[in-house]
Amino acid sequence: MSDNNARVWFITGSSTGFGRSLVEAVLKHGDRVVATARKPEQLDDLIRQHPEAVKAVSLDVTDPNAVQAAVKAALDAFGRVDVLVNNAGYGAVGAIEEVSDEAIHRQFDTNVFGALNVTRALLPTLRQQRSGHILNLSSVGGLVSFPGSGIYCATKFALEAISEALAKEVEALGIKVTIVEPGAFRTDFNGRSLAAPETFIDDYASISGAMLQWLKDMDGKQPGDPDKAAAAMIQVVESDKPPLRLALGADAVGAIDAKLESVKAELDAWKQVSIDTAFEGAVIGTIGG
């Protein structure tokens, strides 16, 4: 692929996990990439191998000034951004009652407000270009909330809602949005990127405690291959009709299937109660229509 046709990717959380795999795959694909990370020196080996195609930028997504500086560095380096990947994030584990106020705010600051900071900083460029693709890394936990990870799942539910609305807002401007929903992949999510509560409550030991132990036991044994996930994301960007949602992993597909069936069954079982709440003779329209 020539430089004229090569896409420019802006990827957050690039030093490890999905981010690192995606940076490597993008470079192998012949595209260029702005790889952001808290510790960009961890990307030095890729810079040595691809000095003209990769720019590493220090970025804490929770710092709006740093986000603006990173976007400027990207545009100064390559003149445009074609694909934004909001990948930076981590998982807070614990029962709703166990997770501290500070930990909850920190989780939302990174997983939700961090992604918003970067997206909102790049949208003016994408609008001006009348092109672009935003990939927001959610999770199977963005559609299915699990006991012991409610706070983490809440951030991913929020990211899904933002992404779904954003997709409709920017469609006419030539910008695409895809929500990526991985299951268990062999990244450092279950290790370094896992945040346990500072205080445990005995009553939740068999619930949140069991979830934390399961995550730790799965570390290094997850079925998902991050390199194959990266290839799937590139395939989505290459597609003329990319999906709004892309589940990754058989476990994610199974959990989402079960959730959709459960929601439909419950909706049908209580449908008449739901419908009977309207004023007599009221005209029922479509929400948002």
Residues 6+ apart with CB under 8 A from 152: 91, 92, 93, 107, 111, 139, 141
Question: ∠ at Cα 110 (31, 38), nearest 5°?
Answer: 55
Give yes or no for a contact between 249 and 181, defined as CB atoms under 8 angstroms apart: no
Q: Work out the burial of residue 274: count CB atoms within 10 Å of its CB; fewer than 13 is exposed, 13-18 middle, 19 or more buried.
A: exposed
Residues designated catalytic: 138, 152, 156
Integer Cα distance of 20 and 219 in angstroms: 18
Nearest to 288 by CA among 138, 120, 158, 169: 169
Both tokens of 246, joined, read: 């892309």
Integer Cα distance of 211 and 196 in angstroms: 10
Give yes or no for a contact between 8 and 32, defined as CB atoms under 8 angstroms apart: yes
Distances (CA, A) of 163 to 99, 120, 167, 232, 251: 26, 12, 6, 19, 22
Nearest to 224 by CA among 250, 188, 255: 250
Which 3 state secondary structure label does DSSP give 153?
Answer: helix
